[in-house]
Amino acid sequence: YSEHGLIYPPKLTFTPTTSSSTLCSEDEFSDEFLASLGLPIMKKPELNPVDKIEIDQEAAQLLGDTVADEDARKKEEEAKTLQKLFSKCKFFISREVPREMFAFAIRACGGDVSWDKTMCAGASYDVSDQSITHQLIDRPKLHEMAVNRVYVQPQWIFDSINARKLLPVDNYLPGSVLPPHLSPFVEEKEGDYVPPERFGQRKPDNDIEEQTTNKAPSIDLVNSNAYLNGSLKRKRTENEETAPKITTKEERKRAMRVESGQVQSVNVSNIVKRKANEERRLVEMTIPKKQKRLYDKIKFSQKKKRQEVDKLKRKRADYENNTIQDVTNDKKKLMKLS
């Protein structure tokens, strides 16, 4: 409590009035407001920003590079931004949505939340409040919908927390098919299978797609150009050797005529890949026998991993094709019925 600047035992920043105290007895009064989870907790007076910066700098100098480490600072900044993720949002939880877990998650990320007062004690505002920005519902439709708020399914809360940012609500509207809920405890490495939904949740600097799929192969331009020049020279010498000898003057004139030629397309990527494979095979031949066994095990594990990734990609493609086919069939049935 003292580290976070809170008063112990915790006290709520709420002063009961005569009108509110008549709604419940004195014994139930504290339980009424503790159940809300929507009231801010009283904090100690904060230090001035200048004093706080000076204290942080002094602590960093005393403790050395461990505190001032860049990775530690990044994690601390991410934690601070996560605590303010829903700070500009005001939520209302519908009756069909589990209250406890979503109220806790929203309040932990700095958002305001309330619910129906008939569902549980501690509701701080009603559904008719015009300042509500998001309403969590878990049903296809509502009879009355306000224009100035967004209606989302509950999964949007947890997906936004896992992505460390507010995700677009288009995929989480009422009645829409929800995207797969991705585990926040899985960190994909280079070569692993990455679901397409993960790319929308990642930041540009942490995007694995750039490292795995969109990563351009490094091409040695000097060697590739030399290889191409050598191959073209060999073709010229072969053509000169196989060309028939010109003897008469008329044949020489005929041979000197300019004819429209055909452009030969040379696939540079295949040439570079072939050259890289040749170099790899030469390196493998120089590996000692003891290290060769370890090398073979590593190659086998990499091959097995690639096969698993390809299998998951095929399964995903089959699933998407079947989903598209089901949607088209449903549309055809509706057209026939209409």
Tell me: the pLDDT tens digits for 34-48? 565 556 666 666 555
CA distance 107 to 35: 13
DSSP letter (8 states) at residue 177: P
| Residue-level pLDDT at 227 | 45
Q: 219 exposed, middle or buried (CB, 10 Å; 0-12, 13-18, 19+)? A: middle
E strands of 29-181, at which residues? 90-93, 112-115, 134-136, 150-152
Closest by alpha carbon to 312, among 212, 201, 192?
192
Q: Could you give the 3-state DSSP secondary structure of residue 134?
A: strand
The domain segmentation of the chain, as residue ranges, is 84-179, 289-338
**Rounded to a whole number, what is the distance in angstroms from the first to the last CA of the chain?**
64
- Preceding amide of 9 cis, omega within 30: yes
- Identify the CATH number of the domain defined by range 84-179: 3.40.50.10190
Answer whether 284's CB lies under 8 Å from 295's CB.
yes
> What is the maximum alpha-carbon separation in the chain?
123
Residue type at 328? Answer: T
Q: How far is residue 148 CA from its own chain's centroid?
A: 29
Q: How many helices (H) and strands (E) does the chain have?
A: 12, 4
Q: Pick the closest to residue 55 from 63, 44, 43 (CA basis).
A: 63
Residue 271, classified by CB atoms within 10 Å of its CB into exposed (0-12), middle (13-18) or buried (19+), is: middle
Q: Is 113 helix (H, G, I), strand (E, B) or coil?
A: strand
82 touches 109 (CB < 8 A): yes
Amino acid identity, position 10: P
Write out the two tokens for 144: 């009355």
Task: Tell me the residue ranges of DSSP E strands in the chain.
Answer: 90-93, 112-115, 134-136, 150-152
Could you tell me the CA-to-CA distances from 250 to 244, 253, 256, 258 in Å, in that order?
Answer: 14, 5, 10, 15
Q: Which residues of the chain register pLDDT less than 70?
A: 10-69, 200-261, 263, 327, 338
> pLDDT digits over 184-235, tens only?
777 777 777 777 777 766 654 444 444 444 443 344 444 444 444 555 455 5
Rounded CA separation 94/103 (Å): 11
Yes or no: say if 115 and 93 are a contact pair by the CB < 8 Å rule: yes
Residue 196: how many other CB atoms lie within 10 Å = 11
